[in-house]
């Protein structure tokens, strides 16, 4: 690890005073210590070699090492206020801003966007709060302290990608969890345990290696509540589960595509990444892998989605090409606009693509 600078302590301490009472006196006797009622802490000084402009900086260290005090040198954290009469999506500048920012922290479970803040899980609350804090010069304290470590990793990766893509600058995060640093890929790290400024270049995002296993529709039960449209599945579909290490992370299924003009064609049917792993790019790569498998078997492969993140990924991918129905309202559909609690394609605009993938030489 490349140490850029050793930190110094400030000469002026922070002093706190409490009244000496019978509780303190009793504990002094029990633990053989003497306390005069005054505590002193010498904060760290800011490193002199910090860049004036950066994307992400991280302050990491154990409890009581001065992280929060040092974070205040960069600004004051803004904690969002939530109106529980409104959905969490309704708290952003405009609908697109909400869609972009919730997606930027890996909060891609669309049905949960429509809930009030007070009924969200701890992981969802963390991501919702984080989505509203994302701005240049923002500071975030106690980062990922109250969430599952899978959520912490996924949110960190998604946040880092969003900040770097959207030219957001000078975001400083304070955390006691070192496991998120590689996923954030910061420009610099201040370690308050060792008193060092570290070069962020050496923090590299770990590889995500996913394994696929063929299964049946019976495994859909653990995923169906997280699908952005509905929980139904065709029992004739070809199903797979995605596993990362010893964790099940996702599900994908495909079906044949009957057509008078297309021969030997298949289509995507269902794809779900569990919420704690959303934001890591697993979904798009999973859809690419399954599509390539069908191409290798000699099939053509098509997929439609109303999910903006997945649709935009395919719009920018060299492996997918838009069909004639891509991002167009289906005027040929005459039935009602709402079916199974979601819109038909004569109301919503879907992304429609064919996967061309990598052609293997014969």
The CATH number that applies at residue 272 is: 3.40.630.30
Helix axis angle for 149-165 and 122-133, nearest 10°, is 20
Query: Are residues 195 and 298 part of one domain?
Result: no
Query: Are residues 287 and 185 part of one domain?
Result: no
pLDDT-based confidence at residue 334 (cuts at 50, 70, 90): low
- The answer to the question of residue 247 being in a domain is yes
- The answer to the question of residue 29 being in a domain is no
- The answer to the question of residue 182 being in a domain is yes
Residue 275 has pLDDT above 50, yes or no: yes
- What's residue 362's pLDDT? 47
What total of structural domains would you count in the chain? Answer: 2
Residue with the bigger pLDDT between 13 and 228: it is 13
Give the Cβ contact number of residue 221 at 10 Å.
11
Rounded to whole angstroms, the Cα distance separating 362 from 354 reads 22
Could you identify the residue written with the tokens 């770990």?
Answer: 206
CATH of the domain at 98: 3.40.50.300
Query: Which range (150-154, 320-324, 328-332) has the least confidence?
Result: 328-332
- Residue 196: name the closest of 1, 5, 2, 67 by CA: 5
Residue 342 has pLDDT above 50, yes or no: no
Query: Are residues 187 and 102 part of one domain?
Result: yes
Query: Are residues 288 and 166 part of one domain?
Result: no
pLDDT-based confidence at residue 338 (cuts at 50, 70, 90): very low
Read off the pLDDT of each residue in 296-300 and give the average, rounded to a whole number.
94
- Residue 174: name the closest of 141, 127, 131 by CA: 141
The residue segments making up the domain with residue 131 are 3-7+52-202
Rounded to whole angstroms, the Cα distance separating 91 from 61 reads 33
Give the Cβ contact number of residue 108 at 10 Å.
25
- Residue 215: name the closest of 198, 237, 239 by CA: 239
Rounded to whole angstroms, the Cα distance separating 4 from 26 reads 46
Helix axis angle for 308-316 and 282-296, nearest 10°, is 60
- The answer to the question of residue 322 being in a domain is yes
Question: Could you say which of 148, 179, 202 is where a domain stops?
Answer: 202
- What's residue 242's pLDDT? 97
Query: Are residues 261 and 152 part of one domain?
Result: no
Q: What is the DSSP letter of 142?
A: S
Query: Are residues 76 and 189 part of one domain?
Result: yes
Query: Are residues 337 and 220 part of one domain?
Result: yes
Query: Are residues 296 and 269 part of one domain?
Result: yes
Residue 163 has pLDDT above 60, yes or no: yes
pLDDT-based confidence at residue 360 (cuts at 50, 70, 90): low
- What's residue 110's pLDDT? 85
Burial of 16 (0-12, 13-18, 19+ CB in 10 A): exposed
Could you identify the residue written with the tokens 């039935």?
Answer: 335
- The answer to the question of residue 92 being in a domain is yes
- The answer to the question of residue 167 being in a domain is yes
The CA-atom distances, in angstroms, between 39 and each of 17, 61, 192, 279 are 6, 20, 19, 43
- The CA-based angle 131-132-137, given to 5 degrees, is 100
Query: Are residues 98 and 220 part of one domain?
Result: no
Query: Are residues 71 and 147 part of one domain?
Result: yes
Question: What length does the chain have?
Answer: 362
Question: Could you say which of 202, 230, 259 is where a domain stops?
Answer: 202
- Residue 252: name the closest of 226, 276, 327 by CA: 226
- The answer to the question of residue 266 being in a domain is yes
Query: Are residues 221 and 176 part of one domain?
Result: no
**Cα 136–chain centre separation:** 18
Give the Cβ contact number of residue 336 at 10 Å.
10
Query: Are residues 162 and 71 part of one domain?
Result: yes
Question: Could you say which of 166, 184, 202 is where a domain stops?
Answer: 202
Element holding 290 (H helix, E strand): helix 282-296
Percentage of the chain surpassing pLDDT 70? 93
- What's residue 330's pLDDT? 62
pLDDT-based confidence at residue 329 (cuts at 50, 70, 90): confident
Read off the pLDDT of each residue in 259-278 and give the average, rounded to a whole number.
90
| String of DSSP letters for 206-252 | PP--EEEEEE-GGGGGGTGGG-SS-S---TTSEEEEEEETTEEEEEE
Percentage of the chain surpassing pLDDT 90? 80
Enter the pTM of the model.
0.84
**Residue-wise pLDDT tens digits, 58-110:** 999 999 999 999 999 999 999 999 999 999 999 999 999 999 999 889 898 88
Query: Which range (100-114, 164-178, 330-344) has the least confidence?
Result: 330-344
Read off the pLDDT of each residue in 16-41 and give the average, rounded to a whole number.
93
What number of CA atoms fall less than 13 Å from residue 215's CA on the CB side?
17
- The answer to the question of residue 35 being in a domain is no
Q: What is the mean pLDDT of the chain?
A: 91
Residue 343 has pLDDT above 50, yes or no: no
- Residue 161: name the closest of 253, 55, 238, 232 by CA: 55
């Amino acid at each position: 690890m490349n140490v850029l600078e050793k930190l110094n302590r400030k000469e002026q301490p922070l002093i706190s005073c409490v009244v000496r009472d019978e509780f303190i006196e009793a504990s002094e006797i029990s633990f053989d210590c003497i306390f005069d009622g005054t505590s002193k802490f010498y904060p760290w000084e800011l490193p002199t070699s910090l860049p004036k402009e950066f994307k992400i900086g991280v302050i990491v260290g154990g409890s009581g090492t001065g992280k929060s005090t040092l974070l205040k040198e960069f600004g004051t954290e803004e904690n969002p206020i939530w109106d529980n009469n409104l959905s969490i999506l309704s708290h952003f500048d405009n609908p697109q801003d909400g869609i972009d920012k919730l997606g930027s922290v890996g909060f891609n479970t669309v049905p949960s966007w429509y809930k009030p803040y007070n009924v969200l899980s701890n992981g969802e609350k963390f991501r919702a709060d984080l989505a509203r804090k994302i701005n240049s010069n923002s500071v975030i304290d106690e980062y990922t302290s109250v969430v599952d470590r899978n959520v912490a990793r996924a949110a960190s990766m998604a946040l880092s990608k969003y900040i770097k893509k959207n030219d957001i600058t000078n975001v400083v995060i304070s955390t006691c969890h070192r496991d998120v640093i590689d996923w954030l890929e910061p420009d610099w790290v201040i370690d308050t345990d060792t008193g060092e400024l570290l070069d962020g270049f050496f923090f590299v995002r770990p590889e995500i290696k996913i394994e696929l296993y063929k299964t049946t529709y019976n495994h859909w039960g653990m995923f169906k509540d997280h699908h952005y449209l509905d929980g139904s599945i065709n029992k004739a579909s070809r199903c797979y589960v995605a596993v990362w290490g010893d964790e099940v992370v996702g599900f994908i299924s495909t079906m044949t595509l009957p057509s008078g003009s297309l021969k030997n064609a298949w289509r995507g049917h269902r794809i779900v990444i569990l919420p704690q792993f959303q934001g890591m790019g697993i979904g798009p790569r999973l859809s690419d892998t399954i599509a390539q498998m069908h191409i290798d078997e000699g099939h053509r492969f098509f997929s439609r989605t109303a999910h903006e993140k997945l649709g935009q990924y395919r719009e920018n991918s060299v492996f997918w090409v838009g069909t004639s129905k891509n991002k167009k309202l289906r005027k040929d559909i005459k039935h009602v606009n709402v079916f199974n609690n979601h819109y038909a394609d004569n109301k919503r605009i879907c992304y429609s693509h064919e996967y061309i993938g990598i052609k293997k030489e014969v």
